[in-house]
Structure formats: structure tokens, C-alpha cells
Amino acid sequence: MFATRSPPKMINEGDYVILKKENVIKAVRIRKGRKEAFDKLHFTLDNAIGLPLGSLFEVKGGKLNRLDLTEDVDELLAAKDDVADDKSNRFLQNDGTSQKLSRDEIMNLKAQGVSGKDIVEHLVENSMTYNERTQFSKAKYKNKKMKKHFVRFSILRPTTDLIAQMYYCRGASKIWDIFNVSSSDLRLDTLSQILTLSNVRAHCCIMVAESCQGMVAGALLERMGGHGSLVQIYSGDFPGRQALDYFNFPKHFLGCLIGFAMDKVTTLGQSKGAEKRSASITEANSSTVRDQETASELSENGDNSGKDQEELEGGNSMNEEEKSARRLCRKIEEARAREELERGNLDSLVVVSRFQPSLIVMSLLPRLAPSRPFVVYCQYKEPLMECYVNLREKGTAINIHLSETWWRHYQVLPARTHPEINMNGTGGYLLSGITVEPDTPTTETLQQAKKPKLDECG
């Protein structure tokens, strides 16, 4: 039997999508009649509703027009290798007098609704120096005019790589919390190695301590596929989960995510009787508030991203019933997370935090089962070296590696393949290892330790 291709997913109102134009990436929510700003363009997404994800669009008159993918616009940008090129650019002067079309004439063409491709063709025809350029210079000239007059972008389904690229392009101040102490950003290749080294999979229980607005937690949830448990260790009054909205996760995916405050980690294992009583209370109340969990989760996410909350509720006011339901859901979530952590034997630990990593790792590592992986990210290697020394002294881990990734973009074009000049210096450092049971000293080892050495006896 032949495998049938699944139908493409459509752009639906209320979902988050990714707008992508080369290196410019933005996540927006589809809503009718709402003006969106993207790369100096202002338009509505009404015409995109009902079309398949991955479609290519152009903006005309503040509205989106879908482009035909069979029409290859980039064919003019390729250099003609089979043509003998005896031209030279040494006599070209960039003084602005080589173009016959004025700015007013170009604006009139845009006002008449002429497509960007036709405008570029008009510019080529009215350029006095175009025929004097080399083949590569012609392609570069057209590419420059295409970017200016023929703006097109794609509407894509949000994925981990696109969301990570979006935050990386925004810069460090956008992804890390506003109280950050290190100007770091999580690169896409580093995130992929974190997912690989943590061995995340379905039906596993993972701890994650992050300061990336929930992006790392979302990447882990996507790998888990809605099966398992993810304990998010957070600082502050509530966990940061703004980036989770962009993934469009179904409800059972978010049911795997539970949060636990970082300052309460030291209280694990204390007052077990009180915890059992609170667990029984939460089990009794869980059935009554099950219908309110969805609204409370939306309100909780709204606290982290104020714009979405104002758009959903038309303001920032909440009644007492919604507040109590939200507080109750947080208590239930904290009780579940405490139960998971006190039970121990978790499968993996991921730390991408703005705090000192050594303290977090040494406090959470005993909750892992033996022979389980852990991975810690930091922009600088000195904090990870301190954590490395502590792990070696405690004897709680083996196969400990401190690594740095190398990532560089290349331009791949005919006869013009070369690495890009601008590149990022470093993508941070990763400390990974596998947990083991620490050796307990026996009677023989203690006697050998107390036995004096020969040079001590004189």
C-alpha cells in the first residue's frame, strides 16, 4: 500500500503563526480586523485565514495577497555562468544619476497596484549602468531592489527551531528575564544539543530550571509529545511561560507541565503528614475545579504577557472567582510537583538559568535516579568549571564534559560560496554528565585511610 500524504494544516483564527522574511521572524496571533506590523509593513491577516500554512504572501494596500509558488521570482537573481563575462565594475559610480525613474514615479507605480516584480523590471530597464555590470553585479543589483520593492514573507507553523531563531534574532535582552545578570542568548545549535544530551522522550519525567520565558520547557514538551511529566523549577511568584503560547500546544500537552518554586526546594521531605493531608484535599477539589483549569491557565499566562491578557478580557480586571480558581490551580500544580520531586528517580535535569548553576545542580541532582543524564548551560565557562569541580568532589556523576559549540553561516551560491563575515563569537558552554550513586566508605577503606604512610613514620 502507498502511504497517503496528510492534508496541509490551515491557518485558523486564534492560533499563533510565524511570519518569516529571511532573518526577520515574528510570532503573531491570527485575529480578524487586527493590524499587524512586520518589517515596516502594516496589514491585516484576514485574507490568510483558511489558507495552508507555508504559503507565501505579498502586501498590497494593507492587505495580504497570496503568491503563486510556481512563479519563480528568484530566477533573475542567478548569475549566468555560461555567458562570457568581459564586463568590469571599475568605472561605475554610485552617484544616483544612473536611474532614470524618479522617486515620485516609483511611488506612483506602487499606488497604481503594480507588483513588486514589475517595479524591479522597470528599474532594470531604466538603469543606464545595468548593462555595464558583471553577471554577479547584476544579480546583486536585482536582489537589492527585490528586498526594497518586493517584500514577501511566509506564514509558517510555529516550531522549536523557528521560535528559537526568533528569540535569538531579537537579542539577549528579549529572551532573558528583565532582572538578568548576564547578557546571554540561547542559540539554536546549543538548544539542539541540550535536547540531545538530556535524552528527552515520551513517558519520561524531567526537571528543568530555566530563565527563557518557557522556550526550553516548550522544546522539551514538544519532544515528549504530551506523555510524561515536566517539572519546571522557577524563581519568583509564578513561572514564566510566555513562549509556550507560541507552540499552540493542546490541553493534554500542558497537563504534563507542573511548576515548583526554587526557594521551596530545600523544604522537600519536610512535614510529610501535612503534605499528605494537602494532597487529599487537592484530590477532592480537583474534580470541582477541572472545568476552571482552562480559564485559570489562560489567566496565568496573561499575567506573564500583559498584552494577551488585555486582549482576551478587554482589560486587566479579574473577579474574585477567577482569582481564587487560579490560586487553587497553582496550589494543585505545586502539590503535584512536590510529590514528583519527593518521590525522586527522575529521568533528566536541564538547567538554563541566570543564577549560579552550581547551587541549582547540587540541590536538584539528588532527585535524579542513577545513570540519568543532566545538562547545564551557561554563557561563561567559569561557573561551569566550579560546578565541574563540585561534581568531581562529591562523586555523584561520571562522564562529565564541558564543551563549546562552533556555528557559522555560509553563503552557498554559484562561484560565490564563502563564510559570512559577521558571526557570533560563542554560543555558550554546556556541562553534561551521568549521575551515579556516590561511594559509601567501608571498614577496609577507613582502615587504609587511617594507616600511616612510610614517610610519616620517619
CA distance 431 to 277: 39
CA distance 239 to 241: 6
CA-wise closest residue to 56 among 154, 149, 151: 154
Residue 3 is placed in which grid cell?
A: 502511504
Answer yes or no: same fold for 10-80+97-155 and 160-268+324-435: no
- Placement of cell 522617486 in the chain: 103
Q: What is the pLDDT of residue 447?
A: 57
- Placement of cell 494577551 in the chain: 308
CA distance 282 to 292: 14
pLDDT 10s per residue in the chain (458 long)?
Answer: 444 555 668 999 999 999 998 888 999 999 998 999 888 888 899 989 999 999 999 887 778 888 876 555 555 445 555 454 566 666 676 666 788 888 888 888 877 877 778 888 888 888 888 877 888 788 888 888 888 877 889 999 999 999 998 988 876 444 444 334 333 478 889 999 999 999 999 999 999 999 888 999 999 999 999 999 999 999 888 888 889 999 999 999 999 999 999 888 888 877 554 444 444 444 434 443 444 444 444 434 444 443 443 444 344 556 788 888 888 888 888 889 899 899 888 999 999 988 889 999 999 999 999 999 999 999 889 999 999 999 999 999 999 999 998 888 888 877 778 888 877 777 889 999 999 987 765 555 545 545 555 454 44
| Domain residue ranges in the chain | 10-80+97-155, 160-268+324-435
Order of strands, edge to edge, in the sheet holding 429-435?
257-261, 228-234, 204-210, 348-352, 373-378, 429-435, 397-404
CATH fold of 160-268+324-435 = Rossmann fold (3.40.50)
Residue 213 phi, psi dihedral angles, 5° rounding: 60, 25
For domain 10-80+97-155, say whether CATH 3.40.50.1820 is its number: no
- Placement of cell 552550581 in the chain: 358
CA distance 19 to 26: 5
3-state secondary structure (DSSP) of residue 265: helix
Helix pair 272-286, 320-343: axis angle to 10 deg: 130
String of DSSP letters for 212-240: STTHHHHHHHHHHTT-EEEEEEE-SSS--
